Amino acid sequence: MIIYVSALFAVVLMPAVTRITQLNIRGYRPSRPIAIVLLIGAVAVVLAFFFTTGLPPVLRDLRSFSDELPQRIPDIVAKLKRVPFADRFGVDAIAQRAIGAFDTTAGYLFTSLPLWLSHLFDILTATFLCVYFMLEGEYAYRFFLSLFPATQRHRLNNTFKQAERKVSKWLVGQGTLMLILGVTSTIVFGLLHVRYFVLLGFLMGLFNIIPIAGGVITIVIAALVAALDSWTKMTGVLIFYLIYVNLENAVLIPRIMRSSVNLMGLTVLVALLLGTALAGIVGALVSVPTAALITVFLEEYAVQKD
* Least confident window among 55-69, 86-100, 259-273: 86-100
Local confidence band at 261 (pLDDT 50, 70, 90 cut-offs): low
Examine the pLDDT at 81 and tell me if it is beyond 70. no
Residue pair 248/177 in contact (Cβ under 8 Å)? The answer is yes
| 258 falls within a domain | yes
Kindly report the pTM of this predicted structure.
Answer: 0.69
What pLDDT is recorded for position 184? 92
Residues 6+ apart with CB under 8 A from 91: 77, 80, 81
How confident is the model over 170-185, as a mean pLDDT?
85
- 16-22: long-range pairs with CB below 8 Å, 24+: 17/134
| 230 falls within a domain | yes
Percent of the chain exceeding pLDDT 90 equals: 3
How confident is the model over 176-197, as a mean pLDDT?
88
What pLDDT is recorded for position 239? 92
The span from the CA of 75 to the CA of 54, in Å, is: 31
| 25 falls within a domain | no
Examine the pLDDT at 62 and tell me if it is beyond 80. no
| 165 falls within a domain | yes
| 238 falls within a domain | yes
Return the higher-pLDDT residue of 184 and 123: 184
Q: Whose CA is closest to 13, among 269, 296, 289, 255?
A: 289
Q: Whose CA is closest to 263, among 297, 291, 298?
A: 291
* Least confident window among 3-12, 272-281, 291-300: 272-281
Domain interval for residue 297: 151-306
- How many domains, the chain? 1
| 142 falls within a domain | no
| 210 falls within a domain | yes
Q: Torsions phi, psi of 84, nearest 5?
A: -60, 140
Return the higher-pLDDT residue of 240 and 206: 240
Percent of the chain exceeding pLDDT 70 equals: 77
| 60 falls within a domain | no
